[in-house]
Structure 1
């Protein structure tokens, strides 16, 4: 059974068809890239899977169970983590506090005063920060960090819920080339170690072809190709539509 199974996914806005009849699967431990030119339907597809947009037609299954049109929080509770194009951390919190906050949410605990919760799950937070290479900066405020380090903290926060599926929206946006490579190598290693499936959108082709196990290509709201990086490089329709050979 696939970790994620998407069948005939469609999103219509009246007469306008944003996404039409998209089907694909994702296996545990696999990195799957979703690419396409601007307006291809990447964000729409991504947000339907994550629950931010309603599905007009089609189905999304997580380990064989439907998550179609569930609220994002319910999808998260079922084992789907997410990072965003613009990193979603609290700048006034320390690195550790950001991860502790994610752990509090995962365990269904909340407090009115941070001072009360500050001691909770610190060991778990430190362990997650160790995984992403940020343990040494645990007590710094996120507002003091370089952007690449903020993205690492966000990844640790996403891992706090022990997700089986990780959705990453433009994970390397705004990062320098070396930072992009380091973050995606880290993501790949964590995905393999945890057997977590990763679906990510990305504009940087060095990231896509360097780290994706398979690639989905969208154009004009339709899936025009899917396969290994080598398959996609050689696909005539991809070359025409995506890489501008016509």
Structure 2
């Protein structure tokens, strides 16, 4: 059985189908890229899987259990984590306090003024920061961090819920090329070492073609291609509707077509 299975997922706004019967699967230890031109339906699909947006039709199954109709919080507690295009951290808190807050939410703990949260889950928070190589900056305010490090903190926060599936929406948006490679390389390690299943949207083709295990491509709300990096690179429909024809762009390792 697939870990995550999306079946015939659809979203209609009035008479327009933003997502039209999209189906795909995601397995443990897999880094799956969801790509497509602007307006393809990537974010809508992502938000339906994570519960931020109700679907008009179809199913989202986690280990065979239906997630459609559940709140995003309920979905998170069932093992689906999420990061966002704009990092969701508290700038006024320290690095470790941000992770502790995520752990408090996961454990559904409530703290009071006479029982400070500062001592709760500190060891567990440090273990998570160690996973993302941020333990040496644990007591720094997030407001002082470089953006790439803020995204690492957000990743640690998303891991606080012990997700089996992690949804990452444009994880490298706003980052320099070296920061992009470092962050996605770290995610790839987590996928391989901890059998994490990751679905991510991404505009940077160097990231997609360097790190993804498989790629799915949307255009105008429909799934038009699915396969390995090499299959997607050679796919004529992808080149036609996503990249355009006859134009190329240099990435770190390969030449790719562009719109």
Query: In structure 1, what is the equivalent of residue 104 of structure 2?
Result: 104
1:1-246 counterparts in 2 under 5 A?
Answer: 1-113=1-113, 116-245=116-245
Instruction: State the alpha-carbon separation in 1 of the partners of residues 190 and 121 from structure 2.
Output: 21
Q: What RMSD in Å do the two structures reach over aligned CA positions?
A: 1.1
Normalised to the residue count of structure 2, the TM-score between the two structures is: 0.93
SS at match of 2:116: helix
Compute the displacement of 1:69 (Å).
2.1
Counterparts in 2 of 1:114 and 1:216: CA distance versus 1, 3 Å: farther
Instruction: State the alpha-carbon separation in 1 of the partners of residues 162 and 105 from structure 2.
Output: 12
Compute the displacement of 1:193 (Å).
1.5
Compute the displacement of 1:116 (Å).
0.7
Instruction: State the alpha-carbon separation in 2 of the partners of residues 125 and 213 from structure 1.
Output: 29
Structure 2: any 5+ residue segments left out of the alignment? 247-259
Runs of 4+ in structure 1 off by over 2 angstroms are: 112-115
Compute the displacement of 1:192 (Å).
1.5
SS at match of 1:118: helix
Structure 1: any 5+ residue segments left out of the alignment? none
Instruction: State the alpha-carbon separation in 2 of the partners of residues 114 and 173 from structure 1.
Output: 40
Does structure 2 retain, via aligned residues, the 8 Å contact 1:29–1:192?
Answer: yes
Instruction: State the alpha-carbon separation in 2 of the partners of residues 104 and 113 from structure 1.
Output: 15
Does structure 2 retain, via aligned residues, the 8 Å contact 1:48–1:69?
Answer: no
Compute the displacement of 1:115 (Å).
6.7
SS at match of 2:224: strand
Instruction: State the alpha-carbon separation in 1 of the partners of residues 39 and 114 from structure 2.
Output: 42
Normalised to the residue count of structure 1, the TM-score between the two structures is: 0.98
Compute the displacement of 1:114 (Å).
9.2
Deviates most, 57-66 or 105-114: 105-114
